[in-house]
Chain A
Amino acid sequence: GAVVSQHPSWVICKSGTSVKIECRSLDFQATTMFWYRQFPKQSLMLMATSNEGSKATYEQGVEKDKFLINHASLTLSTLTVTSAHPEDSSFYICTAGVTDTQYFGPGTRLTVL
């Protein structure tokens, strides 16, 4: 079956630093990847849509200069949280897929001190 990995699975960083999260499709090529974040006791909110070889499309209210998304290949998309602050602490999940099916990564828990 299609497998999507995320790395790291959890990360703790100091306020003001940048953190990169990787999303990889391990056994298929993904033309589209979605990035979500989830605050405690809330649902998953779509942050951006990432298409290979083009700029990401961000949802309203998501700062594109703060959450940098790069989809450099058909198997890898990265989300970089720049100058992270405690309010960026959240659970980040990616999906990867083709056509009409998306597969889910296990998530990355970010804690900013």
Chain B
Amino acid sequence: KQEVTQIPAALSVPEGENLVLNCSFTDSAIYNLQWFRQDPGKGLTSLLLIQSSQREQTSGRLNASLDKSSGRSTLYIAASQPGDSATYLCAVYGGATNKLIFGTGTLLAVQP
């Protein structure tokens, strides 16, 4: 059974800091991994999608890496802003059960 864990569960940083969010998964036979942000009471906003054959994806201040063999992904946010405050979720698709499983989430607060 695929298990997806995100560390830390919550993070508070001052504006301008660079930060790293972590996602680990137990079954490495995945198709892809995706990072989302979710604002309170809202749906999911897709940030980055990394296919299993890729090692990283970049979009603006965001960079996501994938190490399938070790079952890990990181989301790097450069020069954080208060508007980055949200819950960040990773989701892996595939594995032995061919399901899409979400991580436990990281609640990020960027202090002005």
Contacts and interface: CB of A to CB of B under 8 A. Distances in A.
Contacts of A43: 89, 102-105
Interface of B, helix, strand, loop or mixed by DSSP: strand
A95 B31 contact: no
Given A93-B44, A100-B94, A46 B99 contact: yes
Interface residues of A, number: 19
A28 interface: no
22 contacts: A34-B100, A36-B102, A42-B105, A43-B89, A44-B89, A44-B91, A44-B102, A46-B99, A46-B100, A46-B101, A46-B102, A91-B43, A93-B43, A95-B100, A101-B31, A101-B32, A101-B93, A102-B93, A102-B100, A104-B46, A106-B43, A109-B41
Contacts of B93: 100-102
B106 to A, nearest CB: 10
Contacts of B103: 43
Interface of B: 31-32, 41, 43-44, 46, 89, 91, 93-94, 99-105
Given A46-B102, A100-B94, A107-B43, 7 more contacts: A43-B89, A46-B101, A101-B31, A101-B32, A104-B44, A104-B46, A105-B43
